[in-house]
Structure 1
Amino acid sequence: MKRFFTVFFIFNLVFFVFAQNSNTARKIAEEAARKETLEQSVIYLKKNVPALQNLAEKRSGYAFLAGVLEQSGNFQEAMNFYVQAAAIAAGDAEGMQKKSSEQLVLDAVRCALSAGDWATAQNYLNSAVRNSSDSEIIAFIKLYEQWSILCQAKTSAELTEPVAILKTYSSLPSMKSVQPQVLLTLWHITGEETYSAQLKKSFPKSLESAIVKGEIQTLPAPFWYFVPRKTDSVPEIASVQSSETENQSKNENSEKSENDSKNEKILRQQLGLFKDKANAEGLVLKLKEKGFSPHITEEIRPSGTKYYLVVVDENKAGSIGNELRNAGFECYPIFE
């Protein structure tokens, strides 16, 4: 009988270990997607991805976690997890997005630039990735090098050289894979309709085209806020609208107001979420220059990380959101 229980115990122990090791990045990602909130998903991913035993699964798990964090605006954390994924010498897990280590390094560069950390971005760009034989990787390296220079610019005069280089890139066949990003960057900095028109014509279904049309918004990232512009106008979104679009916009705003009054009331508009208070204060100054009354609120996540949120209180007319967008600021409503 004693021998029976010993064998039974060992069998169950082996089964338990096998069950633990049989977890995959895809299963964890699917379970994370079932969580009620983004924060719960991130907590679940941070707990379970490091426990994956198979290197390919762990690599893909870290890449997935980094993608979730990037989409939520947590660029610094996203960058760190992209780097962890790139450092694992393994292939791609089954059922997960396929990415080379070079692509993961560039993902980390993009996050560093989005966070305004040009020094770290430049450090990664100067790594082995620069010796890539992949033409698309090289195109992104050239684009991100100019973004890094833009991150360092403090005056519009410092935009001359990178803008000239980006203009050249916009017509080079070797840079075709990043042309939507190049054109969006030129449009954002110069405000010239030429670039938005070219985006809509050449890349009508791209995310960049949707941004200039005002159909979607960019995340409130330090890169897009603090890079100097030659003009503060936002042509496609703020001023270049047909009467039909204006009427449609008014109707939509009217319906939205009615729905909000029946359901939830907008208390304020959020414009940015930063780990560095200095970045939040910089955005506050820009908003005050445009006549708004912003303030900073603090939020501490379960991880213990403190974030600084830049917000503007809604007015009685409920028009602050539109006023901010017309002034060139992206914002998101916070409800009661």
Structure 2
Amino acid sequence: MKRFLKTFFILTLSFFVFLPVAGAGELAGGAPLSAKNAALAAASKDTLEQAVNYLKQNVPSLNTPADRRSGYAFLAGVLEQGGNFQEAMTFYVKAAAIAAGDAEGMEKKSSEQLVLDAVRCALSGGDWATAQNYLNSSVRNSTNPSIVSYIKLYEQWALLCKAQKADEISETIAMLKTYSSLDSMKAVHPQVLLTLWHITGEETYAARLKKEFPKSLEAAVVKGEIQVLPAPFWYFVPRKSDSIPEVAGVKNSENQEGNKVQPEKAGGKNGELPADEKILRQQLGLFREKGNAERLVSNLKQKGFEARITEEVRPSGTKYYLVVVDENKAGTMGNELRNAGFECYPLFE
């Protein structure tokens, strides 16, 4: 877990070295704790939970409004990276509400960008209503072309998130196709093309990604080099085509989630897991309809796997049914499931 925290830290503050940090609220010598040093201290923690708790304890008492603003934004980023979209959204909004600039040594973000970060988290969690509420806030008055592009993209994502059936997304598909050819939307063309590929199954969008944006994360997804991480948005967006795009080996659309990407093999060299992370179970699907989950469980049991269903209620109030199989003592359950033709991803302790 410390490897993850340091990697996240390097992505945002790579030009700083690790500095010794004193106790809560101050640096060695009694100097007030800055956002930069709070981020450094959080990155040195052994677990994600420790890092989050440290930031929650110290960010409210940081030295200046700018430090608190950047501190909340950093905390939100850590939570989002950890898949805690609801809480991340809350802290992005809290950061956006602070009338201050960016703290020294921290990522530069406008309040409009922070609001859009909150929208992205709402959509990642499947909460289209909250996403639309934030999109209808003052951010809609932005004159920044990039911000306007993301607003238009997220509006269509919210409609996709809201849709229940494939025949409800025709207008959204038409709008995204229009966006994919507009120069004014070029800032989000990779995301638009990936979305179109995902919901239509048409390889023309994958081909455009690989040709026009070969080094983008979206292109890596369609090449199968990286995979999307679990998030309800990608699981539940209706598909227009029966031809399901293959994302890094994931072939069943109802078993796939994600709005962020990372290498398919988690961990260190050769994909091994960090020593302080333990797999508890493998998740094979997340469904709105219990009957679909029950059919997958029946299929798994026919192949000799002890599958079960767990329930989860999201902040939107929607109940989802998760199909899981407990990890075995040898730690080989994931490979056994994949060898039997089931796609899965690990849930850690």
With the shorter chain as reference, the TM-score category is 0.7 to 0.9
Partner of 1:311: 324
Structure 1 residue 176, shift from structure 2 partner: 0.5
The letter of the residue matching 1:311 is V
Amino acid at match of 2:283: Q
Structure 2 portions without partners, runs of 5+? 1-25, 252-264, 301-306, 313-319
TM-score (normalizing by structure 2): 0.72
Match status 1:296 vs 2:310: yes
Q: Which amino acid aligns with 1:53?
A: N
**Is 1:284–1:294's contact at 8 Å kept on the other side of the alignment?**
no
Secondary structure of 2:83 counterpart: coil
Q: Is the 8 A contact 2:116 2:151 kept in 1?
A: yes
Change in 2 beyond 3 A, CA 1:137/1:285: farther
Query: What secondary structure sits across from 1:187 in the alignment?
Result: helix
Residues 109 and 120 of structure 1 are in contact (CA less than 8 Å); yes or no, is this contact kept in structure 2?
A: yes
The aligned counterpart of 1:270 is 283
Note the C-alpha offset of 1:332: 2.7
Counterparts in 2 of 1:22-41, with a 5 A limit?
A: 22-41=32-51
Secondary structure of 2:248's match? helix
User: Aligned in 2, Cα 1:266/1:95: closer, same or farther, shift over 3 Å?
Assistant: closer
**What are structure 1's unaligned runs of at least 5 residues?**
1-15, 241-251, 273-279, 299-306
1:54 equivalent in alignment to 2:60: no
Matches within 5 A, 1:60-71: 60-71=70-81
The C-alpha deviation readout for 1:260-296, integer Å capped at 9, x for no partner, is 9xxx996631368xxxxxxx66276545455444422
Tell me what 1:124 maps to.
134
1:144 to 154, 158, 162: 154
Letter in 2 for 1:282: R
- SS of 2:335 mapped into structure 1: coil
Greater percentage in helix: 1
Q: Does 1:133 align with 2:146?
A: no
Q: Quote the Cα distance in structure 1 between the aligned partners of 2:288 and 2:281.
A: 19
Matched residue of 2:310: which SS?
A: strand
1:194-224 deviation digits (Å, cap 9, x = unpaired): 1112111111111111222222222211111
Name the Cα RMSD after superposition.
Answer: 3.3
Per-residue displacement from partner, 1:89-131 (whole Å, max 9, x unpaired)? 0000011100000000000011111111111111111111111
Spell out the pairing of 1:312-327 with structure 2 (5 A cutoff): 312-313=325-326, 318-321=335-338, 323-325=341-343
Which residues in structure 2 correspond to 1:123-202 (within 5 Å)? 123-202=133-212
Aligned to 1:302: none
Aligned counterparts of 2:74 and 2:334: Cα–Cα separation in 1: 41
Contact 1:324 1:331 in 2 (8 A): no
User: For residues 34 and 45 of structure 1, what CA distance do their matches in structure 2 show?
Assistant: 12
**How far apart in 1 are the matches of 2:122 and 2:170?**
23
- AA at the equivalent of 2:93: V
Which letter does structure 2 place at the counterpart of 1:237?
A: A
1:234 and 2:250 correspond: no
- Structure having the higher Rg: 1
Aligned to 2:106: 96
Partners of 2:180 and 2:235 lie apart in 1 by 23
Q: For the structure 1 residues 287 and 215, does the alpha-carbon distance in structure 2 shift closer, same or farther, using more than 3 Å as the test? A: farther
CA displacement at 1:74 relative to structure 2: 0.5
What letter corresponds to residue 225 of structure 1 in structure 2?
Y
TM-score, length-scaled by structure 1: 0.75
Q: Distance in 1 between the 2:137 and 2:334 partners? A: 52
Which residue number corresponds to residue 9 of structure 1? none
1:75-99 CA distance string (max 9 Å, x none):
0000000000000000000111000
CA drift at 1:152: 1.0
Give CA-to-partner distance per residue, 1:133-169, whole Å, 9 cap, x none: 1000000000000001101100000011101110111
Residues paired across the two proteins, number: 283
Superimposed CA distance per residue, residues 38-80 of structure 1 (whole angstroms, 9 cap, x where no aligned partner): 1111111111111113000000000000011111111000000
> Partners of 1:17 and 1:221 in 2: how far apart?
38
Q: Percent identity?
A: 62
Instruction: Name the CA distance, whole Å, in 2 between partners of 1:107 and 1:39.
Output: 21
1:223-273 Cα offsets, whole Å, 9 max, x none, are: 111111123622353499xxxxxxxxxxx9xxx99x89xxx996631368x
User: What is the distance in 2 between the residues matched to 1:49 and 1:37?
Assistant: 18
Query: What is the CA distance between 1:191 and its match in structure 2?
Result: 1.6
Paired residues of 1:269 and 1:331 also in contact (CA < 8 A): yes
Aligned to 2:226, the other structure's residue is in SS state: coil
Q: 1:186 to 1:89 in 2, by over 3 A?
A: same
- Match of 1:91, SS state, is coil
TM superposition shift of 1:324: 3.9
Question: Aligned-pair distance for 1:308?
Answer: 9.2
